[in-house]
Amino acid sequence: MAKRDRLDVDSFFSEVDQTQEVYNLREQIQLLEQQLNQQISHEQTLMAEIEQLRSDSQNLDHPQLQSQISQLREHLKQNQGTIQYSVQEIYPNPNQPRKTFTEEVEAMSLSLQQEGQLDPIILFEDGMLFDGECRWRAATHLGWDAIEAVFTTKPADSRILRRKAYLTNLHRRGLNALDKAETIVAIACDEVPELPPEEVPRIINRVLTRLKRKKQSLGERLHLQPHEQQKAVLEQLEIDSTELEVFLILLGLQEHPASLNRNIFPALNLASDLKAAVRGQGLGCAQALILNRLSASDLGISERQCLKLRNKGIKTVLSQNLSATQTQQWVTQEKAKYLQNSSSTPRDKRVDRFLSSVQRFNLAEIEASAEQLQELQQTLENTLEQVKHLLK
């Protein structure tokens, strides 16, 4: 959809003779501009009310919230009409905290197949979703080429969208630990632009560890206290300015840093295959964190073998609907198998002798020619390739 750019009426007519006809046209265009401004103002008011209701409501199905969304949708339909918009041109709000929709998309797919699309989705002018992500994902899943849509104006500050979306209580309740952790880190980096994302959980862990050593505490309900009281408590703890800023951001989201450090931020350390399973297959974050303990280094196997083992774990957990406790038992059994196999395999004495020679070998104590060093390098590289092949 073309963006609704303003027309500079005075410039448009500056080179034209000021006849009565032109004067009338000018008035008509100015009237249309006023009507358009009123429409956009009304849309913005409705969007602000919707975001506020999302923040205040305990339920996305809250009647007033649904009423406001319906009012905005009807307003857009009446003033612009609906169009069939290519699903390929649509993209989700990158600041949308929720990235896991598995169950909702399945249910929406059935609804679209049986009843068709009942309401258009609401898009910003560049194709970004404001409302209707489940419908769009379901349409994509069904292979639809286009979906019915209406358009509204995009807010100027994307950071406000991210924060408001996070503060939506229903969204927060529906977020898994991975989505929540990534969104909180992104919000902190929005407000402290020079802060690397990986530093956010490090700051929290570092400060909490330091406080523990000093036998100090934030207090269990600090995240529920007024901002000034939060700031006063933190300033007494002698933390630096960046640490103070990050802690105040998290507390401002009504999140307790200790709880995030213990329950949420560990999800950031999940292996990429487990993150994909959480988002694409509905694997629980609790189970994913347990499967994440299957590491190649701990088991003495290659990364490829470990990837296969975790994939087996993902399938087992999902097919048998294992709880966290049952997943822990499965992981313990698998680790025991690998460690047992490792200890039961006799060590080859020739490998041990080679290892001993390499470990004792100190290049700093010898005078080797460049030709010898190149030959040594080539030999070791060939040996390393053989080792890699055996570990696959």
Going by C-alpha positions, the residue among 267, 280, 272, 277 that lies closest to residue 102 is: 280
Going by C-alpha positions, the residue among 238, 240, 264 that lies closest to residue 250 is: 264
- At residue 368, the pLDDT reads 81
Q: What are the per-10-residue average pLDDT scores of the chain (392 residues)?
A: 52 59 74 72 68 55 67 79 91 75 77 86 88 89 93 72 61 73 90 91 93 86 84 88 92 88 93 92 92 87 89 95 91 84 67 78 77 86 83 67
Distances in Å between the alpha carbon of 152 and those of 50, 86, 146, 173, 317? Answer: 13, 17, 18, 27, 43
- At residue 2, the pLDDT reads 42
Q: Which residues lie below 8 Å from residue 194, measured CB to CB, with a gap of 6+?
A: none
Distances in Å between the alpha carbon of 50 and those of 65, 158, 233, 333? Answer: 6, 16, 34, 50
HSE-up (13 A, CA, CB side) for residue 340: 6
Going by C-alpha positions, the residue among 174, 160, 191, 176 that lies closest to residue 95 is: 160
- At residue 170, the pLDDT reads 46
Q: What global pTM score does this model have?
A: 0.53
- At residue 80, the pLDDT reads 76
- At residue 1, the pLDDT reads 47
Specify the DSSP class assigned to residue 122: E
Dihedral, CA of residue 92, residue 97, residue 101 and residue 103, to nearest 10: -150
State how far the Cα of 248 lies from the Cα of 188, in Å rounded to an integer.
10
- At residue 65, the pLDDT reads 67
Place of tokens 């003495």: 300
